[in-house]
Structure 1
Amino acid sequence: MKFAKIAQKLALWAGSPKTFMGALILIGLWGLSGPIFGYNDTWQLIINTSTTIITFLMVFLIQNTQNRDTDILHLKLDELLRVNKEAQNAMLGLEALDLKQLEALRRHYRALGENQVFDLEGLGDKSKPKQDLNEC
């Protein structure tokens, strides 16, 4: 739990405009210091090592926050499915299906939608009946 809170705060901080501006300023200062250090290997190594370490750590931070956001989204969708009387509650357990089962389900829903047409600014097929999107 402690890591999740720290990761969330770090992700918010890392994605802020202030952090981006700070990074731009640091890169600018590093670039301006090139003539002072004669653009030597150590000068280049400092930025390469720094950016590599930051990138390495950010991968884990981003993955953690992405996993958390995905879990939250799934829980919200599960709740919407649960309270909707017309929804198929079997959809709540899709995580347990393997890839072949998910693909079969995807084909099933694609086939259900083939007869439905949306008129997007006259682009739809007018020969098929339009679905009234205001009906529940």
Structure 2
Amino acid sequence: MTHHVSFFTRFAQRISHAAGEPYTFTTGLGLVIVWGLSGPLFGFGDTWQLVINTSTTIVTFLMVFLIQNTQNRDSAAMQIKLDELIRATPKARDTLLDLEELSEDDLEKLRAEYERRAERARKALSARRTPGTSSESRR
């Protein structure tokens, strides 16, 4: 398996990582404070307002695509890892390997099935924790 990663992928990952760092937030906050304090110098004019509006719009617009690229890659990698765990677990159902390809209705049916299983497991756990009571008497 080759580990060649495209320039864009490396760039997007680095920018996405840097965007989540405390120093990035501090830098952004500092820029906003400087902009705000410079208001009186520029008479709180239209150009002064346009500077912050335009710069934040451009940064936001570009960051959406970079973060989405990184999130798509992370989601795909996580899905592959989960698929491998399902495949390697003897009692797991292989039909769960491609759930992301199912319709919303099919996903809802599976979700409901797992909610019923979870409810049964909670009731069984509760019955084990409450000595002297049967599951029939709590219904």
Fold in common (TM above 0.5): yes
| 1:41 to 2:46 alignment | yes
Q: Percent identity?
A: 51
Matched with 2:94 is 89
Equivalent of 2:30, from 25, 32, 50? 25
Residue of structure 2 equivalent to 1:63: 68
Q: Tell me the equivalent position of 1:5.
A: 10
CA shift for structure 1 position 49: 0.6
TM-score, with structure 1 as normaliser: 0.81
1:93-132 alignment to 2 at 5 Å? 93-117=98-122, 118-119=125-126, 127-128=134-135
Q: Which runs of 5+ in 1 are unaligned?
A: 129-136
Q: Secondary structure at the match of 2:121?
A: coil
**TM-score with structure 2 length normalisation?**
0.80
User: Aligned equivalents of 1:127 and 1:59: distance in 2?
Assistant: 55
Question: What is the deviation of 1:55?
Answer: 0.9
Structure 1 residue 112: deviation in Å?
Answer: 2.6
Give the CA RMSD over aligned residues: 2.0
Q: Write out per-residue CA displacement over residues 2-31 of structure 1, whole angstroms, 9 at most, x where no aligned residue.
A: 221110000011111111111111111111
Which residues of 2 match residues 71-86 of structure 1 at below 5 A?
A: 71-86=76-91
Unaligned runs of 5+ in 2: 1-5
For residue 120 of structure 2, give the secondary structure of its aligned residue in structure 1.
Answer: coil
SS in 2 for 1:39: coil
